[in-house]
Amino acid sequence: MNGEHLIGIVLNERYELKEIVGSGGMAVVYKAYDRLLNRTVAVKILKESLKNDAEIVEKFAAEGKAAASLSHNNIVSIYDVGQIDGLSFIVMEYVEGMTLKEYINENKPIKWQTACEIAIQIASALTHAHEHGIIHRDIKPHNILITKDNVVKVADFGIARAVSSDTMVAGGTALGSVHYISPEQARGGYVDNTSDLYSLGVVLYEMLTGNLPFDGDNAVSIALKKLEEDPVSPKVINLDIPQALDAIVMKAISKEQISRYKTAEEFANDLKSLLNEDSMHIITARPKDDDEDGVEYNPRSHGKKKKKTFNPIVASIVLFVIIAVTVFFVMRGGSREYIVPDLMNHTLEEALKIVEDTEFTIDEDGIVYEISEEYDEGKIMHQNPGANQSVKKNKKIQLTISSGATEGDIVVPDVREMDYEAAKELLESKNLKCQMVEEESAEYELNQVMSQSPKYGTKVTEGYTVILHVCTSVISDGEQVEVPNLYGSTRADAEAALTQRGLVLGNVKKEASDEEVGTVISQSPVSGTMADKNSTVDIVISDGENSQTMIPSESSSPSAPVSNKTTPPAQTTHVTAPPSETTQAPTQTEEIKRKTLTINIPDSADETVQVKVIANGKIIHNQAHSKSEGKIDIVVQSSKDAEVEVYMNDELVVRKLVEFD
C-alpha cells in the first residue's frame, strides 16, 4: 500500500483513515476513526519512499516508543505503534487546533505575557520528558500544537531517544531543524537536556519578535552563525519586551551549554516569576565580588567583566524604565495569575481534596468520561487548563476521566434532587458505591442531592464510586418565620406544618410518655419563636408508657444539638406541690393520684431552656420553653410517692420527693 493515498483504508481492522491533516519530510498524518474505542485519533504513516530505509524506519519506531512512555497533559499521547503490509504507523491523540508556527505567523509578534505562558507549558512537557530520560532534540513551532482551549501540546518525538552514554548525534550528522537546533547539535557534539532548552529559547525568541536569532541562505550558513556570532537581543527588535524577559531568552540561547538553564523547570520558574511579578531582577545578573567594586556582568560579553562608567543619559533611561515598570506592576496588581495544580492520574475524590486550598475548583458539570487502555478506571487522564500553567484565579478545571479499558454495563441513574439516603439505596441496588461531599445551599433542602458525578446515563463497571454533592447546611436568606405549635401532631402533620412555614423537620426522637403514641410531645425551637427560613425544628414523639426512654428514631437530617449551657444554681429554681387531687383508680387494685408541680424559670436563664422532668425513673416531660413563660405547670401521676428530678439544658437543678399521703 502507498502511505500517501490511503483515505478510506482501515488499518489493523481498526483505524479508518478519513482525511490527510498534515505532511512532513518523513510521514503523512491522517485524521482517523478508532472503531474499537469509538474515538477520533491521528495516524502518522511513514512515507512510501522511506519504508526501505532501515535507519529511518528505526527512528520512526523510536518516536512511538519514546513518546508512549510519557504521560503528560502537554505532550501528545501515543496510543498504538505498529507495522502492516509494509507500512509503519503510529496512532496518537487527535488535537484540534493549529501549530505554534501557524499561530506565530498570524499573530507575530506575540504579546510577551502570552509567549511566556506558551513557553511555560512547553517547559512543563520537557520537564516530564527529561525526568524520564528522554531528550526531544527537535523542538520547533512546527512540532508544537495549540488546542482550541489554549492547551499547548508537544508532538513529534521523531528523533528523540533515551539518554545513554552514546548521546552523540548519529553519524555526526546534525538532526532537527537547523534554525532551532543548538550549536552542539549543529557541530555534531554532545547533546543533553540543555539542548532542548536552547531550542525552546529560540521558539520564545521567535514568538516575541517574529524573527529568528539566526537566518541565512542555507543550512550551513545558519549553522556557522550559531557557532561564531552573537544573536541580536530580542528587546532591540521589540521594545515592549521587559528587560528581565530579554535576559531570560539570552540565557536560554547561550552558545555554551554550561551557561544555559540547567533544567526546564528552572527555565519555567523564571518565566512564572516574571508573570507573577515576584521578581524584577535580570536573571543573568551575577553578584559582585567584595574586591571588585564598580564591576558588573554583561550577558552579551560571555562572562567578561568591564569597568562601569557613569553616563547621565543611560541613568535617565534606567530611571524612566524603573518608574514605568513600577507603574505597570501597580496597574496589574489585580490580574495576578496562579499555577494550576497537577491532577493527572488522580481520582476525582483526590482531585477535590487537592484543589480545596487553592484558587481553583473542579468543573463537575463539565467532566467527561472516556474509555482508556492507558489509565485505570476512575483516574484523570486529561485536564484543562493543564497542570502547572499560569492562569487567572477562580478558574474552573475541566477533567476527562477514564471509565476503564472497556465500556461498563451499569448505567448510572439520575439521583439529583433525591434524598441522600434514597439516592444511596438506589445506587447500591445497582452495585454502585457513593461518596458524599457536604455542601451549603440556599436553594436545596437539607439532605437533598445537589449534583452527581458521573452524570446520569454514563456506563460504568460494578463497584464504581459515584460522587454526590449533598446539601448538609441550608444557608439562610435572612428571612425569619414564626415556629408553629406542633404539640399533639403526628410526625407527618408536623412536617407538613413546618414545610408550609418554610421550615425543615430536623432531628426526630422517640421517648416514653403517657401521651398518645406517635404524637409530638416537645419541640425545639418552641412555638411562637422566630427562626431563620429553611432552618430546622427538632421534635420528640411519644413512644408509649412502657417504652425505654430516649429511643432515637430515623433522623431525616442532621441537626445542631440543644445548647449545653448550664443554668443558674439549683436554689434559684423552685418546685412547689399544691394539695393533691385524688381520682378514681383505673383498676380495682390501685389508686392513681395526681399532683401539679410548678417550676419557675429564673430570669438569669437562657432565652430558650430545655426542661426535662423525670418521676420514678420515667420521663414525664421533655420540652423546650421560652424564658418569657416564667413558670411551667407539670402534672405528676403516681399511686405512691414519686422521686422527681428536674433538668434544665441537661443540668440537674432539683431532686425532690413528692409525697401523695
**113 contacts 275 by C-beta, under 8 angstroms:** yes
How much of the chain, in percent, has pLDDT values that exceed 70? 77
Q: Which domains does the chain show, CATH number per domain?
A: 1-94 (3.30.200.20), 98-287+296-304+312-335 (1.10.510.10), 339-474 (3.30.10.20), 480-552 (3.30.10.20), 570-658 (2.60.40)
Tens of pLDDT, residues 482-528: 889 898 899 888 988 998 888 888 888 888 888 888 898 889 888 87
Give me the phi and psi of 459, to 5 degrees please. Answer: -95, 125
Q: Output the pLDDT for position 349.
A: 82
**491 contacts 551 by C-beta, under 8 angstroms:** no
| 440: three-class secondary structure by DSSP | strand
Catalytic annotation present for 138: yes
Strand partners, 163: none
**349 contacts 435 by C-beta, under 8 angstroms:** yes
Tens of pLDDT, residues 21-74: 887 767 889 999 999 999 999 999 888 777 777 777 877 777 677 778 888 999
The residue type of 104 is: I
Question: Measured between alpha carbons, how far is 69 from 59 in angstroms, rounded to an integer?
Answer: 16
Q: Output the pLDDT for position 196.
A: 93
Tallying the residues shown for the chain, one arrives at 661
Burial class of residue 266, CB neighbours in 10 A (0-12, 13-18, 19+): middle
Q: Output the pLDDT for position 336.
A: 58
**Which is catalytic among the residues 34, 80, 138, 156?**
138
Question: Which residue from 365, 429, 376, 426 is spatially nearest to 401, judged by alpha carbons?
Answer: 376
Q: Residues 519, 525, 528, CA angle at the centre, nearest 5°?
A: 90
Tens of pLDDT, residues 231-277: 889 998 899 899 889 999 999 998 888 889 999 999 999 999 898 86
The residue type of 656 is: K
Question: Which residue from 97, 91, 67 is spatially nearest to 16, judged by alpha carbons?
Answer: 91
Question: Which triple of cell numbers denotes residue 482?
Answer: 414564626
Give me the phi and psi of 480, to 5 degrees please. Answer: -115, 150
Give the pLDDT mean for 146-165. Answer: 70
Q: Cell 411519644 sits at which residue?
A: 542
Q: Is pLDDT at 594 greater than 90 in this prediction?
A: no
pLDDT band at 128 (very low <50, low <70, confident <90, very high): very high
Residue bearing the bigger pLDDT, 207 or 326: 207
Q: Residues 306, 309, 310, CA angle at the centre, nearest 5°?
A: 150
Q: Cell 424564658 sits at which residue?
A: 627
Question: Which triple of cell numbers denotes residue 448?
Answer: 437533598
Strand partners, 100: none
Q: Is pLDDT at 567 greater than 70 in this prediction?
A: no
Strand partners, 613: 621, 646
Tens of pLDDT, residues 627-643: 888 888 888 877 778 88
Question: Which residue from 140, 113, 117 is spatially nearest to 201, judged by alpha carbons?
Answer: 140
Q: Output the pLDDT for position 293.
A: 35
**624 contacts 524 by C-beta, under 8 angstroms:** yes
- What beta strand segments (E) does 87-160 contain? 87-93, 97-99, 134-135, 144-147, 152-154
Q: Output the pLDDT for position 146.
A: 94
Q: Residues 60, 62, 68, CA angle at the centre, nearest 5°?
A: 110
Mean pLDDT for all residues in the chain: 77
**Cβ-Cβ contacts under 8 Å for 510 (sequence gap 6 or more):** 540, 541, 542, 543, 547, 551, 552, 553
Tens of pLDDT, residues 158-169: 544 444 333 333
Give the pLDDT mean for 559-571. Answer: 35
Residue bearing the bigger pLDDT, 215 or 120: 120
Interhelix angle 264-275/193-209, rounded to 10 degrees, is 30
